[in-house]
Amino acid sequence: APGVKMLELLHDMPVQKVSDDTITIQPGDIRSDDVRNIILGLEVSANSEVYETSLVSAELSYYNLFEKMKFDKVSASVFIRESEEEPAPDKDVVVERLVATSARTIMRAARLIQDNELTHARDSLQGIISKVESSVALSPELLKPLLSRLKVMENKLKENTGNTSKHFIMAGSEIQSRIDLVDLSGIDLHDSIFEYKTIGDIDLYKCPDIKTIVQNQMSDGYRFMIFDLSDTRHIDSSGIGTFIQIVGWLRRRGGELVVCNIVDSVRKVFSITRLENHIRVASSVQEGRDIIQSIIDSRDI
């Protein structure tokens, strides 16, 4: 709307300014059963007419797979209303901003380390640690692991080995990839482990069943899971995508997925697709339990 200015985009997505009041954001490929959130920092002029018009209007372009890749568009608008009372901040937005800002701070610290500006890097890191610490109560399941990760990076900065900046870049990228709103309303999360033994090969037709099983367990508060793949001889691209998606679901709730007992043919798929970079692999169910327990223990320190 006139009088509304975008200050920042809190996600690592390509953005192009088309005009003073229009931008184009390219979020990339999004699965039809997944969600991609976009948070914008806006500045609203005191003389703006946003109360008479919409604050933001958005148009989404996509290819409709159900209609032979037809190019479609949908649009929506966001309206605001005047109030004499200042509304409470949206908890989910505050949490996601903290996660996004943490990722950006770590990436910025990596550049400062490369330029040997260690004091500025340390100050930036301590600043975001303080902000996360003061907000942990908003979402302990998400912010406690984030806080632990930030403190680990703070210790790495104190050690300042030759590859410190690389560690920061990796950590920033990992945190950035986990950015998403987490709906925990009405669900009591716990640290029990759900163990599931897959049946046969994992392909396009098997994936919906696996995701349904996982979602049902998540509804019961599970966020740590072990998949026993001893009876699986092959995983296709749909299975790979499903595993990565499940990892995202669990990690956004402070949990983790561990797969174990993978046979050579599946191990080859993991190697070719570099799936081991995204998913923890154990040699047995017991080792998977030990890995998860170590994650829980490190989080509670």
Is position 238 within any domain?
yes
Is position 184 within any domain?
no
Q: Examine the domain organization and report whether 143 and 221 are in the same domain.
A: no
Domain limit, last residue, from 177, 212, 236: 177
Asked if residue 300 has pLDDT above 70, the reply is no
Q: Examine the domain organization and report whether 218 and 151 are in the same domain.
A: no
Which residues, 6+ apart, have CB-to-CB distance to 28 below 8 Å? Answer: 13
pTM above 0.85, yes or no: no
Q: What is the pLDDT of residues 55-83, one digit of tens each?
A: 888 888 877 766 777 888 889 888 877 77
Structural domain containing residue 243: 193-300
The amino acid occupying position 205 is Y
Distance of CA 26 to the CA centre of its chain: 17
Q: Examine the domain organization and report whether 65 and 103 are in the same domain.
A: no
CA distance 4 to 167: 38
Categorize the per-residue pLDDT at 290 as very low, low, confident or very high, splitting at 50, 70 and 90. very high
Q: Examine the domain organization and report whether 202 and 295 are in the same domain.
A: yes
Is position 101 within any domain?
yes
Q: Examine the domain organization and report whether 99 and 122 are in the same domain.
A: yes
Is position 183 within any domain?
no
Q: What is the pLDDT of residue 185?
A: 54
CA distance 120 to 157: 11
Count of H-run helices and E-run strands, the chain: 8, 10
Domain limit, last residue, from 124, 143, 177: 177
In the numeric block, which tokens belong to residue 216? 């049902």
Residue range 207-229: average pLDDT? Answer: 90
Which residues, 6+ apart, have CB-to-CB distance to 245 below 8 Å? Answer: 31, 34, 211
Identify whether the C-beta of residue 277 lies closer than 8 Å to the C-beta of residue 243. Answer: no
Residue range 239-259: average pLDDT? Answer: 87
Count of Cβ atoms closer than 10 Å to residue 288 Cβ: 26
70-73: long-range contacts, CB 8 A cutoff, minimum separation 24: none
Q: What's the CATH number where 248 sits?
A: 3.30.750.24
Least confidently predicted of 19-23, 109-113, 145-149, 183-187? 183-187
Sign of CA dihedral 284, 287, 291, 293: positive
Q: Examine the domain organization and report whether 164 and 258 are in the same domain.
A: no
Print the SS3 string covering 150-174: HHHHHHHHHHCCCCHHHHHHHHHHH
Domain limit, last residue, from 125, 153, 177: 177
Q: Examine the domain organization and report whether 208 and 167 are in the same domain.
A: no
Q: What is the pLDDT of residue 261?
A: 96
Q: Examine the domain organization and report whether 288 and 225 are in the same domain.
A: yes
Q: At what angle do helices 140-159 and 164-177 cross, to 10 degrees?
A: 170
Q: What is the pLDDT of residue 77?
A: 86
Q: Examine the domain organization and report whether 160 and 205 are in the same domain.
A: no
**Mean pLDDT score of the chain, rounded to an integer?**
83
Which residues, 6+ apart, have CB-to-CB distance to 29 below 8 Å? Answer: none
Is position 53 within any domain?
yes
Q: Examine the domain organization and report whether 238 and 153 are in the same domain.
A: no
Q: At what angle do helices 140-159 and 91-114 cross, to 10 degrees?
A: 10
Q: Examine the domain organization and report whether 70 and 150 are in the same domain.
A: no
Q: Examine the domain organization and report whether 142 and 202 are in the same domain.
A: no
Per-range mean pLDDT, top range of 83-92, 134-143, 189-198, 250-259: 189-198
φ/ψ of 64, rounded to 5, equals -85, 105
CA distance 146 to 139: 11
Number of structural domains in the chain = 3
Q: Considering only residues 2 and 248, tell me which one the structure prediction assigns the higher pLDDT.
A: 248
Q: Considering only residues 301 and 109, tell me which one the structure prediction assigns the higher pLDDT.
A: 109
